[in-house]
Structure 1
Amino acid sequence: MLTVVTQTFSGVLHHLYTLFLFTKSDVKTTLVPVTFFALAASHRAAVEHMPHAILWLWLHLLHFNVANQVARPEEDQHNKAWRPIPSGRMTSKNAMILRWVLVPVCWAVSWLYGYQALAVSIAFVALTVAYNELSIDGGHWIGRNVLNALGMAAFETGTTLLTSESSAALDSVGMRSVLISAGVIATTIHAADFRDVPGDKKVGRRTLPIVNPTSARLSIPIGLICWTAAAVNIWGVDWLTVMFLVAMAVFIGWRFVFLTTIRDDEVSYIWYNVWMSCVHALPAYYRIVQRSVTAL
């Protein structure tokens, strides 16, 4: 009896770890930043709602990653051989089944939290199909950047809705937060593509770092500095914070322009996400200041 329980427990852990491996690369770059974004952007964030919001976000992240990795298994052979399909932990056939099973699972979970969350989930599934099955991301870097921005906006909207005391709708601060984030991603998300250039070339993907590497690198400091200026102006940030964010944008931009090995690009992208997390925190700063002014 004990052996059966042990084997069952080991099997469950094996499958859970396999699911985690599908999303491992995006924990630092999506799961954590979007969670902090939701805390900052939501109107009266409820701590008790956070487990629900994180579960919703992780399920949709899992859905996207399974769809993406099933569509392009040859890419992971070059870039991330430890993932479930190239490592042999899951067959492509079973991953394809999981990919489509996750669609009704995401919709059912979203429905439990209201029609707004369900609408976001349906939109996200449509974007996932456009990105993977329709291969819009591979045709041109503009399509890839725009789809990334829309997908991240869906992540942020759904997670922010579930984090708020009321999941009926985003308020004006939440909407502005999502729009700013989408703009940043649409114009700078190719920061994530420098580290994947060797694998992307082998599968024929036309990312901006492949199509025009010089312009791609120069666009990062320009984009980060411009978006920093826009964000601090919109959220009314104090000068000390402004100087810190500008210095960070300049430092990260310098890294992308002058440090160009694959390892350098991996580290630079981590710094890019640190900057993004700081920008994501600004709506919370704005809300605190507004409440202080209202209280006077």
Structure 2
Amino acid sequence: MAATSPALRSHLPAQRLLGEIKLTGRLMADNAVASWLPGVTFTAAACAHHDIGGWPLARHLVISGLLFGLFAYIFDTSNQAKGAVEDAVNKPYRPVPAALTTPSGLLRRFWIAMAAYGLLGWATGTLMWVALWQAIVIGLHLLVRPGHYLLVKPVPLLAGTVAQLAAAWQLAGPVDATGWRWILVLAIAFNVPLRFEDVRDVDGDRRLGRITLPMVIGHWPVRLWFAASMIAFPVVVYLLLVAPAF
């Protein structure tokens, strides 16, 4: 067996790190804005509500960034570990279709991240919301069959959005009546048009055995529902959240 040169050995950790960064970038590219940014932004809003500024604000935002990075990571690793057949058709740049890892490799990363996410939730006082999200991800991606996707998906994702926003607020302080009003309105408003994302994935979903709303009623009704929801969203937010503050 040939020995590895010291120079080559010294580069292996760096190569592995770069490879993991590349893999993670492809893993989370589609959902980072929707799953990471709202949590951090909502923590900033909660800090403003609780009059937190300066270095404490910076500390809260760093912790929020880590917490919601793991929030997104466990969703994407479990989803893509079980959805490689769909991704091969719809998103071939993702890690498994691109041969950067295997489904079992993603699941190993998932369980490691689950442990880190749970520890961070315990350390930050958000464990209840972290545990709720962990249960949702396990149920939705590892237990539910693809054929039940249409009926099962809406409620867990609504609960997951509540868990996300409640954890984000609780990093800054207790979730009071103002916090709950914002959490519930935004969670419902975000999930009402969410079925639009299934329009792009019909071919891959069909191959995986999923049944989605565009398959049942066609893509045009879903598109029109999405457009109507987006038009109504600013009005609803203003009437229910902004106007009462004045």
Indicate the TM-score class for this superposition, using the shorter chain for normalisation: 0.7 to 0.9
Is there any run of 5+ residues in structure 2 with no aligned partner, and where? 1-5
Superposition pairs for residues 23-172 of structure 1, below 5 Å? 23-42=28-47, 43-44=49-50, 45=52, 46-114=57-125, 117-135=126-144, 138-162=147-171, 164=172, 166=173, 169-172=174-177
Alignment match, 2:214: 209
Among candidates 7, 11, 16, match of residue 6 of structure 1: 11
Deviations 1:153-186 (A, max 9, x none): 2222222322x2x3xx212222111101221133
Quote how far apart the aligned CAs of 1:112 are: 1.1
Alignment match, 2:3: none
SS in 2 for 1:13: helix
Is there any run of 5+ residues in structure 1 with no aligned partner, and where? 238-282, 290-296
The 1-side partners of 2:119 and 2:149 are apart by 34
The 1-side partners of 2:136 and 2:60 are apart by 26
The 1-side partners of 2:227 and 2:13 are apart by 51
Aligned CA-pair RMSD:
2.3
Kept in 2: contact 1:57–1:158 (CA 8 A): no
The 2-side partners of 1:149 and 1:108 are apart by 24
The 2-side partners of 1:131 and 1:140 are apart by 8
Alignment match, 1:257: none
Kept in 1: contact 2:36–2:68 (CA 8 A): yes
The 1-side partners of 2:150 and 2:34 are apart by 20
1:224/1:111 Cα in 2 relative to 1: closer, same or farther (>3 Å)?
same
Among candidates 215, 221, 235, match of residue 241 of structure 2: 235
User: What letter matches 2:91 in structure 1?
Assistant: K
Quote how far apart the aligned CAs of 1:142 are: 4.4
The 2-side partners of 1:118 and 1:95 are apart by 24
TM-score of the aligned structures, taking structure 1 as reference length: 0.71
User: What letter matches 2:155 in structure 1?
Assistant: V
1:219/1:41 Cα in 2 relative to 1: closer, same or farther (>3 Å)?
farther
The 2-side partners of 1:62 and 1:52 are apart by 15
SS in 1 for 2:143: coil
Alignment match, 2:200: 195
Quote how far apart the aligned CAs of 1:232 are: 0.9
Greater shift, 197-206 or 52-61, is seen at 197-206
Identical-residue share of aligned pairs (%): 22
